[in-house]
């Protein structure tokens, strides 16, 4: 069964009805259970669960420590291109965003310089990003960037436009470890309304892309919905369902979930379903209890003090000192168009301090690679 078929069994109306019907005792039963069903997930996403955030947080802490210990992996994004022909209405890189700042592809030398700057900070795990520009930033360009990044880092992932399976395989052959690909929203109607141009308008091609990456050999698969496009409870449910599906369909890959929340958007787009801090916390806790073995990534989109508060609630990976513009670390600092404004502007050393203050250990080294004899390193 494809994920689209599984999704078809969980239409919005069914999820809404389950959330609506959930009673406080359903929330308590869901928290107490060893393994949670989709119905339990609905209970934990319901308004009644707001009164149960403490026990949910205690269970989330227990599960995360059991599966991941008291460690937080550190990573950094490297935007290698901000050229984009797509028109996603919420994004600063969109071709019709109205932004006139400089767009470019980093050269091989510039990618090397960006990598060197981050390696000097101690990073061993990076995420390479582009817009959607198959001609300006073709797969061969991304493959070359992966190979360059592997000269500096044992763990390299990409967040680029959706690819065919053989294209993901090519990237894996150049040393790629992970693929991050957010569906943005799983609601097909909302999806069509916010994706106006480019390959990204193809809902089905994007929905299946992360599974293609898993089949091609990507060992880390990261998913997420862009919170704010529609009701967070519904997209949160579908994201968790997708995570569970991928854990089964791509069992050789580690699946992780991100919770990107829309905070800053281009002037032409106002966020239709703003998500509050308390709602984001509830969503993360509910998904942690539903997917105990999934990694949780937390980016610098969120405020520093809020990120610190989230650390013990299920987070396993954090970025720090991030730039969302190409060349933002070494070669074009402040010169190029950024994708979105970040909130947590602390340097990595300060974030590390905050992680330690919560009793967690920041981890720079990728231990999976250290112990994996099949690694191409």
Residues that bind ligand SF4 (CB under 6 A): 84, 86, 88, 91, 93-94, 131-132, 200
Q: Which of 200, 233 has the CB closer to ligand SF4?
A: 200
CB of 105 to ligand SF4, least distance (A): 13
Q: How far apart are CA 111 and CA 145, in angstroms?
A: 7
Q: How many residues does the chain have?
A: 377
Nearest of 151, 48, 135 to residue 376 by alpha carbon: 151
Q: Which of 91, 229 has the CB closer to ligand SF4?
A: 91
Torsion angles phi and psi, residue 324, rounded to 5:
-110, 25
Q: Which of 102, 356 has the CB closer to ligand SF4?
A: 102
CB of 195 to ligand SF4, least distance (A): 7
Q: How far apart are CA 331 and CA 276, in angstroms?
A: 36
CB of 38 to ligand SF4, least distance (A): 28
CB of 126 to ligand SF4, least distance (A): 18
Q: How far apart are CA 321 and CA 78, in angstroms?
A: 11
CB of 28 to ligand SF4, least distance (A): 39
CB of 205 to ligand SF4, least distance (A): 13
Q: How many CA atoms lie within 13 A of 70 on its CB side?
A: 7
CB of 145 to ligand SF4, least distance (A): 16
Q: Beta strands 220-224 and 254-258: pairing type?
A: parallel
> What does DSSP assign to residue 336?
B
Residue 45: alpha-carbon gap to chain centroid: 20
CB of 101 to ligand SF4, least distance (A): 14
Q: Which of 282, 324 has the CB closer to ligand SF4?
A: 324
Q: Which of 137, 320 has the CB closer to ligand SF4?
A: 137
CB of 91 to ligand SF4, least distance (A): 3
Q: Which of 95, 286 has the CB closer to ligand SF4?
A: 95
Q: Which of 203, 360 has the CB closer to ligand SF4?
A: 203
Q: Which of 198, 314 has the CB closer to ligand SF4?
A: 198
Residue 123: alpha-carbon gap to chain centroid: 18
Q: Which of 175, 327 has the CB closer to ligand SF4?
A: 327
Q: How far apart are CA 377 and CA 374, in angstroms?
A: 9
Nearest of 292, 294, 298, 348 to residue 320 by alpha carbon: 348
Q: How far apart are CA 339 and CA 323, in angstroms?
A: 9
Q: How far apart are CA 261 and CA 297, in angstroms?
A: 12
| Residue 196: burial class (beta carbons within 10 Å; 0-12, 13-18, 19+) | middle
Torsion angles phi and psi, residue 96, rounded to 5:
-110, 25
Please say whether the beta carbons of 243 and 289 come within 8 A: no
């Amino acid at each position: 069964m494809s994920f689209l078929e599984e999704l078809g069994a969980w239409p919005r109306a069914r999820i809404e009805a389950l959330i609506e019907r959930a009673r406080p005792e359903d929330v308590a039963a869901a928290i107490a259970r060893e393994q949670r069903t989709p119905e339990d997930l609905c209970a934990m996403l319901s308004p009644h669960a707001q009164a149960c955030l403490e026990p949910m947080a205690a269970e989330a802490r227990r599960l995360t420590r059991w599966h991941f210990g008291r460690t937080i992996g550190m990573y950094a994004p490297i935007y290698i291109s901000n050229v984009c022909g797509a028109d996603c209405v919420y994004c600063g890189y969109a071709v019709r965003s109205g932004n006139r700042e400089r767009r470019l592809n980093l050269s091989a030398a510039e990618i090397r310089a960006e990598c060197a700057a981050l390696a000097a900070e101690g990073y061993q795990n990076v995420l390479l990003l582009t817009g959607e520009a198959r001609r300006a930033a073709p797969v061969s360009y991304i493959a070359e960037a992966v190979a360059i990044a592997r000269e500096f880092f044992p763990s390299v992932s990409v967040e680029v436009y959706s690819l065919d399976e053989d294209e993901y395989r090519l990237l894996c052959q150049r040393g790629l470890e992970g693929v991050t690909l957010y569906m943005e929203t799983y609601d097909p109607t909302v999806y069509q309304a916010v994706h106006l141009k480019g390959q990204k308008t193809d809902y089905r091609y994007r929905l299946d892309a992360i599974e293609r990456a898993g089949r091609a050999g990507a060992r880390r698969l990261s998913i997420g919905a862009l919170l704010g496009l529609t009701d967070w409870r519904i997209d949160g449910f579908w994201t968790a369902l997708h995570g569970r599906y991928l854990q089964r369909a791509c069992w050789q890959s580690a699946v992780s979930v991100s919770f990107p929340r829309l905070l800053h958007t281009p002037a032409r787009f106002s966020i239709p379903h703003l998500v509050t801090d308390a709602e984001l916390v509830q969503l993360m806790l509910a998904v942690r209890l539903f997917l105990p073995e999934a990694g949780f990534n937390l980016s610098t989109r969120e405020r520093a003090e809020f990120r610190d508060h989230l650390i013990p609630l299920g987070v396993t990976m954090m970025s720090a000192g991030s730039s969302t513009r190409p060349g933002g670390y070494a070669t074009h600092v402040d010169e190029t168009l950024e994708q979105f404004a970040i909130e947590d502007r602390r340097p990595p050393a300060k974030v590390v301090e905050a992680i330690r203050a919560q009793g967690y250990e920041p981890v720079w080294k990728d231990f999976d690679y250290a112990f994996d004899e099949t690694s191409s390193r």
